[in-house]
């Protein structure tokens, strides 16, 4: 999203872009360039597949097939794309060993490990508020089912 793109990929220009940049939230206190970068990173790490891959790698290095097995709902294509995005941002390392057959392992970098601690805090928050959140979801679902 660093070039003024919205969530659905539409590009914001002119007044629309200025309005997006004025939105409240985690980026409100930074200038335009920092805010764009922060949104880009939040998009990367907020993706459910990225969080799951980082979570698996937090337990130790893993081969592609290990990641594929550990996250069964993740397609191989999406796993490959996710690993490349995480590697590009310096969160994951890819090490290829010159063996027959070739062996490739993925690991978290120090930067990726520091991000895992933030993800872990989010998981703790989720667990601590599970009952309250489920109550709100159930209440909403019940009232939504009654609407015409």
pLDDT digits 0-9 by tens, 97-131: 998 988 999 999 999 999 999 889 988 999 999 99
What CA–CA distance (Å, rounded) separates 65 from 8? 31
C-alpha to C-alpha distance for 97 and 22, rounded to whole angstroms:
48
Judge if pTM exceeds 0.85: no
DSSP H/E element including 63 = strand 62-63
Q: What is the pLDDT of residues 39-73, one digit of tens each?
A: 888 888 888 899 999 999 999 999 999 999 999 99
């Amino acid at each position: 999203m660093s070039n003024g793109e919205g969530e659905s990929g539409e590009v914001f220009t002119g007044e629309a872009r200025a309005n997006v940049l004025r939105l409240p939230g985690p980026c409100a206190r930074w200038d335009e360039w920092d805010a764009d970068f922060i949104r880009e990173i939040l998009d990367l790490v907020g993706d459910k597949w990225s969080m799951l891959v980082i979570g698996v790698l937090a337990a130790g290095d893993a081969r592609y097939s290990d990641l594929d097995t550990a996250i069964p709902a993740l397609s191989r294509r999406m796993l490959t794309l996710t690993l490349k995005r995480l590697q590009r941002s310096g969160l994951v390392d890819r090490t290829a060993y010159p063996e027959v057959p070739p062996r490739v392992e993925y690991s978290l970098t120090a930067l990726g490990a520091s991000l895992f601690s933030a993800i872990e805090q989010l998981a703790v928050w989720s667990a601590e508020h599970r009952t309250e959140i489920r109550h709100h979801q159930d209440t909403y679902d019940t009232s939504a089912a009654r609407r015409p």
